[in-house]
A and B are shown apart, each in its own frame.
Chain A
Amino acid sequence: MPVVRLRAPLSELAGGKRELELDGSTVGEVLQALEREHPDVKGWILDERGSIREHINVFVNKENGQEDTAVAEHDRLHVIPAISGG
C-alpha cells in the first residue's frame, strides 16, 4: 500500500503517527482513507469539498500531486505546508 508521511500538527491528529500505510489508487482516495482511519484529520488537508487546501502540497514521491494523481503500491505521499505566509 502507499505510505503517507505527515508532519506536526497533522501527525498528532493521526495518533502520533508520522507514517501510515493507506489504501487508494489516487491522492484523493488515499487522503480520504486517512480521514476515515483518523477522523481528527478531517478538514485539515482536504477541505469540505474534497479538494486539497490551497496552501498544502501533497508530493507523490518527488512530484507535486493533485487529488486525481495516480498512486501506486509503493509510492510515498508527503503532506507538506506550502512555502507561504507572513
Chain B
Amino acid sequence: MTQLLVGTKKGLFVLEGEAGGPFAVTSRAFAGEPVEFATQDERSGRTFACVTSAFYGPKIFYTDDLAAEWQQATGVELPEDAEKPLERLWTIVPAEDDDHLYAGGAPGVLFESHDGGATWELNRAFWEQPTRPEWSPGAGGMCMHSIATWPGDPSRVALAISAVGVWLTDDGGKTWRHGNKGMYPRYMPEEAREETITLCVHNMHRAPKQPERLFMQFHGGVYRSDDAGESWTSIADGLPSDFGFPMVMDPDDPDSAYVIPLVADMDRTTPEGRVRVYETRDAGATWIERGDGLPSNDAYLTILRQAFCREGSGPDMGLYFGATSGDVFGSGDAGKSWFTAATNLPPVHSVRAA
C-alpha cells in the first residue's frame, strides 16, 4: 500500500492505493486552503504541511497521526524589521542530525528546527547575506525550494532558490557561498550572464550514494554537478525541451535522474500535448522517453516543482507526479509503465510518498 500526500490549491489530500490501480482519497485537511507542500519525516513519522492561506499568511502545521488534529508550529516568521512579511513556505527537509529539520520559503529564507519540527527559527546567517538587496524573485516568488543535505555530514548543505542560484555551506549554515559556475541564464542579457546572481533554479537533488553529485532543473537548462555544487555542466542534450520544474533521482543510482519537460517558459505545458517523463541512467549523457500509460493526445499539463516524488529505489521504485489539471499519475516500475492514480483533484502543488 502506498500513501501519497498531495498538496493542492484547495487543501491536503491523502491518497492510498497499490501501484497499477486508482488510488482513493482517504482524508483531506486544510479544506479550501493552498497547501504548497506536505511531507513525512520518516525518522519520527511526523507529517508536515506548509499552508499558505491567502488571508492568514503562511504556516507550518504538523501531526503525528493523520487521523488526529494538526498543530501549528511556532517561530515561522521573519524579523519585525523585515521589509515584507514571510510570503510562503516551499519545502521541509529532515537534516542529518536527530530532530533537526530545514524549511525553505520566500523571500529566500531558511528556517531550522531542533525539536522535530514543533518550533523553528530563522537561519540568520542566510537572512543577513549582504547581497540580499540585489536578489530577484522568479514568477512564483523568491522561493527556496530545494535543500540538499549531505548523508552522514550535517555540516554540508546545498540550497537552491528561484532566482538566486545555488548556495553552499560547509559549517552547518554559519556561512554561505555561491555555487553557480556553469549555469547559463539565457533570460538575461548576454553581457550579464557571466556575473549575474539572478539564477532561476527550479529544482535540485543530491545523489545520496555519491553526494558530491547533484542534478538540477534550471529555468531553461538541465545540469549536473560532480563537485558538490561548485560548478555545473549542461546535460540537456537529448531532451525535447530543457524547461521544466521537478526532478527525481533513484537513490540507489548516482547516475540517475528523471525530469518532466515542458515546452518553454512562455508555454509551460507538456510538449505536443503528450505527457512524458525522461530518464537518464548515465548521468545525463542520454535520455530515455518514458510515457507508457501517460496521456498521449491533447494533454497540455503543467507539473510544478514539488509535484514529483519517488518511493523506494531500484527497478521497483515508485514514481508519482501531479499536475495543475488535478490529475495524479504513478509508476510502480521506475517509470517503465504508468497508471492514473487520481483525477479531478484541485490543482496539484506537491506530491510526496508518506
Residues on A lying within 8 angstroms of B by beta carbon are 9-10, 40, 43-45, 47-51, 53, 55-56, 81-82, 84-86
Contacts and interface: CB of A to CB of B under 8 A. Distances in A.
Interface stretch (B15-23, B55-63, B136-144, B161-169): B55-63
B80 A55 contact: no
Interface in B55-99: 55-57, 59, 72, 77-82, 85-86
B59 A48 contact: no
A44 B82 CA distance: 17
Contacts of B85: 47-49, 51, 53
Contacts of A84: 54
Contact of B57 (A10, A50, A53): A53
A70 B77 CA distance: 28
A56 B57 CA distance: 10
A49 B82 contact: yes
10 A-B pairs closest in CB distance: A47-B85, A48-B77, A81-B55, A44-B56, A55-B55, A85-B54, A48-B78, A55-B54, A49-B80, A48-B85
12 contacts: A10-B56, A40-B72, A43-B56, A45-B56, A47-B57, A48-B85, A48-B86, A50-B80, A51-B85, A53-B56, A53-B57, A55-B54
A53 B54 CA distance: 9
B79 A48 contact: yes
Contacts, number: 42
Q: Tell me if A's interface is mostly helix, strand, loop or mixed.
A: loop
Q: Tell me if B's interface is mostly helix, strand, loop or mixed.
A: loop
Given A56-B55, A81-B55, 17 more contacts: A40-B72, A43-B57, A43-B59, A45-B56, A47-B57, A48-B79, A48-B80, A48-B85, A49-B81, A50-B80, A53-B55, A53-B56, A53-B57, A53-B85, A82-B55, A84-B54, A85-B54
A48 B55 contact: no
B59 to A, nearest CB: 7
A49 B86 CA distance: 10
Contacts of A85: 54
A40 B56 CA distance: 12
A48 B83 CA distance: 11
B82 A48 contact: yes
Interface in B196-226: none
Residue among B55, B72, B82 with max Cβ neighbours from chain A (10 Å): B55
A29 B127 CA distance: 29
Contacts of B54: 55, 81, 84-85
A59 to B, nearest CB: 15
Contacts of A40: 72
Contacts of B86: 47-48
A86 B82 CA distance: 28
Contacts of A10: 56
Nearest to A47: B85
Contacts of A47: 57, 77, 85-86
A56 B56 contact: yes
